[in-house]
Amino acid sequence: MQLALLVGVGGFLGAILRYFMSGWVQDLLGKPYWPYGTLAVNVLGCLVLGFLVGLVEVRNVFSPEVRSLLFIGVLGGFTTFSTFGVETSALLRDGALTSAAANILLQVVLGVGAAMMGYYLSQLT
């Protein structure tokens, strides 16, 4: 039960962080039609999770409780791939095929790239 509560608290924090960061990015760019805020959240979430996973593998720095709080809770609540799916579907429904394809390509390529970069950065410390 303790792990479930930690995941819940982490998810609450991650969701709030996602809300503010995504909105901030959209506002910073003048509220563009394309979902840059979601892209920023997903790439940053992948980078941070990749980095933390690398630290765990090499240095075993987090207890199972902290891993549950951070990995499943905070970062699970922070990253927005469900939102990505809905936003991409909306672009497709609106007939914005190029924007939808760009969204898919950038989210996946940059997200996976950021996860790899985070992992490799963790190996340098």
Domain boundaries of the chain, sorted by first residue: 2-124
d(CA 12, CA 50): 21
Contact at 8 Å (CB) between 104 and 33? Answer: no
Convert the pLDDT of each residue in 64-117 to its tens digit: 999 999 999 999 999 978 888 989 999 999 999 999 999 999 999 999 999 999
d(CA 119, CA 123): 7
Given a cut of 80, is residue 125 above it in pLDDT?
no
Alpha helices (H) in the chain, listed in sequence order: 2-28, 36-59, 64-67, 75-78, 81-93, 97-124
Q: Give the other-Cβ count within 10 Å of 117's Cβ.
A: 16
Closest CA to 22 of 5, 7, 34: 34
Q: Give the other-Cβ count within 10 Å of 94's Cβ.
A: 11
CA 102 to chain centre: 18
With tokens 């593998």, the residue in question is 57
Supply the pTM of this predicted model: 0.82
Convert the pLDDT of each residue in 11-37 to its tens digit: 999 999 999 999 999 999 999 989 999
